[in-house]
Amino acid sequence: MLSQEDKKIARKEHRLRVTTVSLLFSFFTILIAIVFLMPSYFISESKKYAAIKYSEVIKKSIMEKEENASNDILFVIKEKLNLLALDKEDSSLKNIFEIIISDKPDGVMINGLSYNKLSNNQAVVIVGKANKRENLLMFKKLLEQETLFTEIFLPVSDFVSDSDIEFTIKISGNF
């Protein structure tokens, strides 16, 4: 049998061995866990990088669309300003509208005037309402008397009703 002192030494060595084995087991368990988690880590990092790249592409695309939209809006505004710019040539358009309005007899209401300019072919379109067929016919005859207008087109279908006639007149000429 062992003496008391030898028993203490044996217990210490036993505790040391158990502690060493426990620490080694814990170390290898953590090492194996790290080894098994590394692929997941690399995959998640690559997905993170791909997501960042994708968000940058989307942000860039949105900025380009906004820039293009702004350019389109500016282009449309520029075209409208060019149309509204008063040249010497365009001052005659005001005179044409004044002639049309002054030729309008009582009983004829003009709802809209529009001007179309396609190279040499220029036209004014009048949209309105006449209370009687005779007033509409008189308006057409008054417009035909004007020397600036080369052609006055009033569809026959506009004369179907006797009263409350909605009409469209197209006037061509060299304005």
Instruction: Give me the half-sphere count of Cα atoms (radius 13 Å) on the Cβ side of residue 14.
Output: 6
Q: Which of 175, 158, 166, 154 is nearest to 99 (CA)?
A: 175
CA–CA separation, 103 and 37 (whole Å): 90
Q: Residue 12: its pLDDT value, please?
A: 95
Domain boundaries, the chain: 1-85, 88-173
Contact 161, 136 (CB under 8 A): no
Greatest extent of the chain over all pairs of C-alpha atoms, in Å: 144
Structure tokens at 59: 């942000």
Distance from CA of residue 7 to its chain's centroid?
Answer: 89
Q: Residue 115: its pLDDT value, please?
A: 87
Structure tokens at 65: 């669309």
DSSP helix/strand/coil, 105: coil
Question: How does pLDDT run along the chain (175 residues), one tens digit per residue?
Answer: 778 998 899 999 999 999 999 999 999 999 999 999 999 999 999 999 999 999 999 999 888 888 888 888 888 888 888 777 655 555 578 888 888 999 899 899 999 999 888 767 788 999 999 999 999 999 999 999 988 888 999 988 888 888 889 999 999 887 6
CATH topology of domain 88-173: Gyrase A; domain 2 (3.30.1360)
Q: Which of 127, 129, 131, 128 is nearest to 162 (CA)?
A: 131
**pTM of the shown model:** 0.48
